[in-house]
Amino acid sequence: MDYRDTPEEAIFRQEVHDFIQKESPRNIMRGEGGYGGQGEAWKAWVKKLADRGWVAPAWPKEYGGAGMSVMEQFIFNWEMAEARAPRPGGIATGFAGPTLIVHGTDEQKQKYLPEILDGETVWCQGYSEPGAGSDLASLQTRAIRDGDDYVVNGQKIWTSGGHMAKWMILLARTDPEAPKHRGITYFIADMKAPGVTVRPLINAAMTHEFNEVFFEDVRIPKQNIIGEENRGWYLAQTTLSFERSNIGGAVGARQGVEDLVTLAKTSDVSTLKSNPGVKHELVDRMIEAGVATQMSLKIISIQAKEGVAPGHEASVAKLYGTELNQRIARTAMKVLGLYGQLDAKSEGVDASRFGRYKYQYLRSTANTIEGGTSEIQRNIIATRGLGLPRA
């Protein structure tokens, strides 16, 4: 790995840094669970990003993106993370937009892409089902052709932002007789259509991000198919040239430990003096955050130099990063002792400051499940990275 920026990369990094320092608002409020923006400050910030193509930096310029290389994206993501600058994105820019760019009709692109770039329209992803999570191709939600529409019945689960979404990218089975990876079609579903029911799933931290979504005789017009009928599984694998280093997660982990060190040194409730082991744990967490950064640098080096998407390396980083989040959360509980039980609404001591750590501890339990479980990541590392036989 070459840790140095090229002269061109250094100029770009400074450009991004200066832009954020000048234009990024502080303490911006976002929607529940990080979905959707609120207020004029958020809209103004998104407009400034959009003017540079930085809402969706990987998208081609002709579609409103910046056409950045993976290394430019890496630098951009790193600087945004270092500044803790708020960003639009998620399912809309990462999944729906790229699929439409590659496989959508001109009419679909003209209708949906501009509203993705405005940073206000929320999309959600209708993939997982109660019996089809890790084995997604086993999904059973059905879509049956009826004239110019498809009638959809079934259930999706763990739908992030579904309660705020306008549109869903939906995988449904259109040919039950075909092998399971075939016979699946990719739809755009209107989340306000008759027959769509969204029910909240409250996580252990008592926040509402996930949902279960039920479809009961929901009619989707045939023009809402992306690509070809029965080819949805292959479309679902579509991405643009996104950088996959998760540098934002690595930077966030380091910043989280730095905040925790500051708390341990300055708070009257810190156990730092009474529990010497806390100091060693904080050192361990900081070293581990550095390791996560090195993993990110390795991944971007593979992408930039070899021009290929990382395989098992991304699974290593995901597995390590999510388990690190949990270790940081456990260390935070040790730093705070009994005060770690406070939440932001508790009375008395500076609960608003401590409450984030209770939330972090409870929320981190899901990190090793969402986005591909630790078990799945270990299987990928074993088979694709180490060449071991499939279990």
> What pLDDT digit, counting tens, does each position of 139-157 carry?
999 999 999 999 999 999 9
User: What pLDDT score was predicted for residue 54?
Assistant: 96
The closest alpha carbon to 216, from 194, 188, 190, belongs to 194
Among 212, 243, 288, 313, the active-site one is: 243
Alpha-carbon gap, residue 30 to 246, rounded angstroms: 22
- Average pLDDT of the chain to the nearest whole number: 90
Q: Domain 247-385 maps to which CATH number in 1.20.140.10, 1.20.1080.10, 1.10.4100.10, 2.40.50.140?
A: 1.20.140.10
Alpha-carbon gap, residue 40 to 189, rounded angstroms: 29
Helices (H) and strands (E) in the chain, counts: 12, 8
Task: Give, for 306, the enclosing helix (H) or strand (E).
Answer: helix 277-306
CATH number of 123-235: 2.40.110.10
3-state secondary structure of 77: helix
Tell me, what DSSP letter sits at residue 219?
A: E
Task: Give, for 284, the enclosing helix (H) or strand (E).
Answer: helix 277-306
Query: Is the separation of the CB atoms in 81 and 8 below 8 Å?
Result: no
Domain chopping of the chain, boundaries: 7-88, 123-235, 247-385
Alpha-carbon gap, residue 251 to 80, rounded angstroms: 10
User: What pLDDT score was predicted for residue 27?
Assistant: 60
Alpha-carbon gap, residue 80 to 371, rounded angstroms: 22
Determine how β-strand 123-126 pairs with β-strand 167-173.
Answer: parallel
Determine how β-strand 123-126 pairs with β-strand 142-146.
Answer: unpaired
Could you tell me the two tokens for 53? 């193509």
User: What pLDDT score was predicted for residue 134?
Assistant: 76
3-state secondary structure of 255: helix
258 is an active site residue: no
Q: How many CB atoms lie within 10 A of CB 324?
A: 22
The closest alpha carbon to 210, from 132, 124, 147, 288, belongs to 124
Which residue type sits at 161? G
The closest alpha carbon to 231, from 90, 371, 102, belongs to 102
Determine how β-strand 149-156 pairs with β-strand 123-126.
Answer: unpaired
Which residues in the chain land under pLDDT 70?
27-38, 346-352, 391
Could you tell me the two tokens for 196? 């769509």
Alpha-carbon gap, residue 308 to 303, rounded angstroms: 5
Residue with tokens 């699974």: 315
Tens-place pLDDT, residues 280-297: 999 999 999 999 999 999
CATH topology for the 7-88 domain = Butyryl-Coa Dehydrogenase, subunit A; domain 1 (1.10.540)
Alpha-carbon gap, residue 205 to 210, rounded angstroms: 12
User: What pLDDT score was predicted for residue 31?
Assistant: 43
Query: Is the separation of the CB atoms in 157 and 212 below 8 Å?
Result: yes
User: What pLDDT score was predicted for residue 12?
Assistant: 97
Could you tell me the two tokens for 290? 């550095």
Alpha-carbon gap, residue 112 to 97, rounded angstroms: 8
